[in-house]
Amino acid sequence: MSIKNNISLYKLEIESKPCKLIAVSKTHSIEKILEAYQAGQRVFGENKAQDLVAKWASLPKDIEWHMIGHLQTNKIKYIAPFVSLIHSVDSKKLLEEVNKQGKKVKRKISCLLQVHITAEETKFGFSEEELIALLESNFIYTLEFITIQGLMGMASFTADANRIRNEFKYLKNLFDKLKERVKPTSEFKELSMGMSSDYKIAIEEGSTMVRIGTAIFGDRDYSDNTNS
Ligand SMILES: *Cc1c(COP(=O)(O)O)cnc(C)c1O
């Protein structure tokens, strides 16, 4: 299957639901991204700030760039001028820095709060208790240059579909609970969950954004990538 065909098929399947396709182009070349662009894809996700900047600089300017990977505070300044959504905000310190950089470039930057699912391997993300405390604190309302649009989460890396479904259910539940509990802004509306292997389950469980890489672009190419 070509990238072009993949985009057509996934767009049709995913965007017929109230869900958005984020094409995860990390490690892939400008040429491959252009192929997806020519098939109509306008939203791309990268997991490293320097790659996001390089690709933003060399590709058409009507692309929406999403940051989906762990972000270091000292890298935010590079992406603040153009990034459309940061999926991976996982600390108060990062929120403060995004706000600071948003202020500098006079942009309100949209963010999702990354949730740490207890069973999952990654060490990144807020726990449920931390999220509730954060969203009920006054701190969050001092962040004038941030719009919190919702939550992001990753299911465990496992072949156990039941476990994956339960983790997505947990995330959706938490999303609904926070939406209700916190002084709700109408902007708290996105739930980013689901990747190539589990996007179908994620959509069934209420995802509004799926992040798909391998299924569109094929295996990742690390050969021309300085992978740290
Ligand atoms: C790489 C990555 C994806 C895409 O994964 P695939 O399995 O290739 O679809 C999604 N989300 C995050 C956070 C990623 O780092």
Q: Which domains does the chain have, with CATH numbers?
A: 3-227 (3.20.20.10)
Residue 211 CB less than 6 A away from ligand 1 = yes
Token couple for 164: 């994956």
75 secondary structure, DSSP code: G
Residue 155 CB less than 6 A away from ligand 1 = no
Per-residue pLDDT of the chain (228 residues; tens, 9 = 90+): 799 999 999 999 999 999 999 999 999 999 999 999 999 999 999 999 999 999 999 999 999 999 999 999 999 999 999 999 999 999 999 999 999 999 999 999 999 999 998 766 667 899 999 999 998 888 988 999 999 999 999 999 899 999 999 999 999 999 999 988 776 567 999 999 999 999 999 999 999 999 999 999 999 877 654 443
Residue 195 CB less than 6 A away from ligand 1 = yes
Q: Is residue 199 a contact partner of residue 212, using CB atoms and an 8 Å limit?
A: yes
Token couple for 176: 């609904």
Residue 206 CB less than 6 A away from ligand 1 = no
Note the pTM of the prediction, 2 decimals.
0.95
Strands 64-67 and 190-192: unpaired
Residue 227 has a CB neighbour count (10 Å cut-off) of 8
CA of 138 to the centre of ligand 1 (A): 33
Q: Map residue 110 onto helix, strand or coil.
A: strand
Which atom from ligand 1 is nearest to the alpha carbon of 212? 9
- Locate the DSSP E strands across 90-129: 109-114
Distance from the Cα of residue 47 to its chain's centroid: 9
